[in-house]
Amino acid sequence: MTATQRTGPIGLVLLALFILIPYAFAAATGKPGADTSGLSALHSAAESVYCTKGLNPATGLLLIETAVFFVAVLAAQRTGDRLGALGAAIKRNGWSMLAVMLLIAIPFAIGWQTESSVCTRGQAFFWESIFIDAFILAILAVSYNLIFGFTGVVSFGHAAFFGLGAYTVGIMMKHLDSPWWLAILGALAVGVIIALIKGVVGLRIKGLYFALFTLAFALVFFLLAGNRILADVTGAEDGFTFKVPDGLNTTQNRLFFYFIALAALVLAFVLVRRLMNSPTGRVLSALRDNEGRAQMLGYNTFHFKLISIVLAGILATLAGVLRGLALKGASPGVLGLDFTITPLLMTIIGGAGTFVGPVLGAFLIHLTEEALRDTVVTIGAVSVNIGERWALILGVLFIVSVMVFPQGIVGTLRSWWIRRRL
């Protein structure tokens, strides 16, 4: 295995150490609960430190580690190749790893700045929920980018996977009394089945007709979810709620769920990047650029498109599962067109056909909406509530962003950088 091939595992080890060092320090210096023993006592001792309001030793260690790694990334860009596998890993994946480290540290940094705790109600606790939503939307955008940005398949029915993920995990846990892990696996299996049906049937239709087929396909599930005939199962237009285990309850253990959602986003990102850097990914890119030429070269384009749709469906279903668990419920809204249009906008604004673009687009749109939700802009005698007019404002921002960044933010900046270096 070459140094370049070892960059992935080394990156995972560095991220694990980034988390474990502050946790181990907190567990060693904290005070365990009175009625705890073994691993429970260890975790209780760690909680007594990192759940403290404001700046605590665990927060300080995380921030110091982040600053040190930032310096290491800058140094690796110049001398990384001379430092063997470790230097190559930091040079190749350093910026992505730094972004993950920043996301790990953000709740603690907010808790420090607002004198709140990451474990109980307060500003840090509130912003954890905002970032959880951002992670889920980013996974959805990454999955849509796989079929739209990398494969060139336009789909208006991506919300079907997202909604079915939330509904399936909820129905299995509420009506079938399934354990959480079986419900998640069941939801992902449903996502695979629906993706296969959608791909096998729909891919025989070309272009705009396929896009309309996917729209009708998703609309069927939306209508079924809101139909009163299935009210005992789906709750009809009101949806339904269900109980989740304490470990996955965002009211009790939001920080833990925050890390689960972040880990799922990292998994989706790495999976898509590894796929697109493989021979299969190169064929998918060839389909996007010129499907006829790929067919002339002997590739079965139907099979490769089906691979893309199935994998994108699994990731979108995973996002829906996380959404259902986070909200402890599901309603027909998760099957609506909004959850197809939103990832489409995120992908285009961030940069279709790029790895970072959809994630950046998801964060920009969601965090901007949240930051401006209660903002009222007054111009003369006219007052505009940003939250109430967000759909209109998003449309304007989309038009402006497409004019300024025709290839999306990441795509346009990448093209600019390439031209600058020539």
Instruction: Say if residue 179 is in the same domain as residue 315.
Output: yes
Q: For residue 307, tell me if it sits in a domain.
A: yes
Tokens 């996380």 label which residue? 322
Task: Give one word for 408, left, alpha or beta, with left for phi > 0 and alpha for psi -120 to 50.
Answer: left
Instruction: Say if residue 270 is in the same domain as residue 406.
Output: no
Q: For residue 367, tell me if it sits in a domain.
A: no
pLDDT digits (tens, 9 = 90+) for 113-168: 999 999 988 999 999 999 999 999 999 999 999 999 999 988 888 999 999 999 99
Q: For residue 368, tell me if it sits in a domain.
A: no
pLDDT digits (tens, 9 = 90+) for 177-202: 999 999 999 999 999 999 999 999 88
Residue 83 has what pLDDT? Answer: 64
Instruction: Say if residue 311 is in the same domain as residue 339.
Output: yes
Check whether 317 has a pLDDT greater than 70.
yes
Residue 8 has what pLDDT? Answer: 65
Check whether 290 has a pLDDT greater than 60.
yes
Instruction: Say if residue 285 is in the same domain as residue 321.
Output: yes
Q: How far apart are CA 150 and CA 147, in angstroms?
A: 6
Q: How many residues does the chain have?
A: 422
Alpha carbon 168 to chain centroid, angstroms: 19
Domain stop point among 120, 144, 167: 120
Instruction: Say if residue 45 is in the same domain as residue 164.
Output: no
- CB contact at 8 A, 222 and 163: yes
* H or E stretch at 225: helix 207-226
Q: What SS3 state is found at 375?
A: coil
Rounded to the nearest 10°, the torsion over CA 15, 21, 27, 29 is: -150
* H or E stretch at 155: none
Given pLDDT bands bounded at 50, 70 and 90, which one contains residue 1?
very low
State the total domains in the chain: 3
Given pLDDT bands bounded at 50, 70 and 90, which one contains residue 2?
very low
Burial class (CB in 10 A: 0-12, 13-18, 19+), 176: exposed
What's this model's pTM, rounded to 2 decimal places? 0.93
Q: What share of the chain has pLDDT > 70, as a percent? A: 96
Q: How far apart are CA 326 and CA 132, in angstroms?
A: 8
Instruction: Say if residue 159 is in the same domain as residue 301.
Output: yes
Check whether 3 has a pLDDT greater than 70.
no
Task: Give one word for 239, left, alpha or beta, with left for phi > 0 and alpha for psi -120 to 50.
Answer: left
Q: How far apart are CA 286 and CA 283, in angstroms?
A: 5
* Domain residue limits at 4: 1-120
Q: For residue 358, tell me if it sits in a domain.
A: no
Instruction: Say if residue 26 is in the same domain as residue 101.
Output: yes
Check whether 422 has a pLDDT greater than 80.
no
Instruction: Say if residue 242 is in the same domain as residue 388.
Output: no
Residue 7 has what pLDDT? Answer: 62
Tokens 């993950």 label which residue? 100
Residue 271 has what pLDDT? Answer: 95
Instruction: Say if residue 116 is in the same domain as residue 141.
Output: no
Instruction: Say if residue 8 is in the same domain as residue 63.
Output: yes
Regarding beta strands 382-385 and 329-330, do their DSSP bridges make them parallel or antiparallel, or are they unpaired?
Answer: unpaired
pLDDT digits (tens, 9 = 90+) for 368-389: 888 887 777 777 677 777 777 7
Question: What is the mean predicted confidence (pLDDT) over 301-329?
Answer: 95
Tokens 């697109």 label which residue? 276
Instruction: Say if residue 113 is in the same domain as residue 134.
Output: no
- The residues pairing with 379 across neighbouring beta strands, listed in sequence order, are 382
Instruction: Say if residue 176 is in the same domain as residue 288.
Output: yes
Residue 244 has what pLDDT? Answer: 93
Q: How far apart are CA 85 and CA 394, in angstroms?
A: 44
Check whether 259 has a pLDDT greater than 90.
yes
